[in-house]
Amino acid sequence: MRSAQTSETSSPYRQTHPAAAVRAALSGFVLCLMIALNALVSSEPAQAEDLLEGYKIVDSKITISSGGVGAFVTGLEDVPLMPDLQDVPEAAVIFDKPAGRLVEAYAEGDVESDAVLNFYRETLPQLGWSLEAIQGATGIFFRESERLEIHVLEGQDRRTVRFVLSPK
């Protein structure tokens, strides 16, 4: 009667198969990255730098929806969120079709309409957007085959900013 091998290290497949080695390396990297990101968010950023030493992130896009410097509008990873605005991710509607993206997203804040439109008038051209017009509390921008409308809606004590992206 043959005995079954129960040890993981006794399996020749686990020891020699290249996919197993890649899987093990990736799972180690993902764990390290998760710990490092947690450390970045916590009060010990030096720990994150030590954990990520030796790794290089080649291509990454991080969308932050809580507001602040470096944040982007939900669904519009190439449209920055004005620092005084807070993203409302649960209100976003996003369609990605072959004919182009359709996105409707919202942000709120205690800001003036002029400040919002001035922020986007100065910022978006640096990201390839061209200003077509500002009509009242609405800014209209174009880039390649997309049109972006930014509407500043008056509220009782806060403003709501509506972002609408559609194909040209």
What's the rounded Cα separation, in Å, for the pair 54 and 49?
A: 10
Domain boundaries, position 34: 8-52
Q: In this structure, are 41 and 94 located in the same domain? A: no
Residue 99 lies in a domain: yes
pLDDT of the residue at 46: 54
Residue 24 lies in a domain: yes
Q: How far is CA 45 from the centre of its chain?
A: 21
Give the DSSP per-residue string, 100-160. EEEEEEEEEES--HHHHHHHHHHHGGGGT-EEEEEETTEEEEEETTEEEEEEEEE-SSSEE
Count of domains forming the chain = 2
pLDDT of the residue at 97: 86
pLDDT less than 70: residues of the chain = 1-70
pTM for this structure? Answer: 0.59
Residue 58 lies in a domain: no
Q: In this structure, are 22 and 90 located in the same domain? A: no
Residue 111 lies in a domain: yes
Residue 60 lies in a domain: no
pLDDT of the residue at 81: 96
pLDDT above 70 coverage of the chain, percent: 58
Q: How far is CA 81 from the centre of its chain?
A: 11
Residue 12 lies in a domain: yes
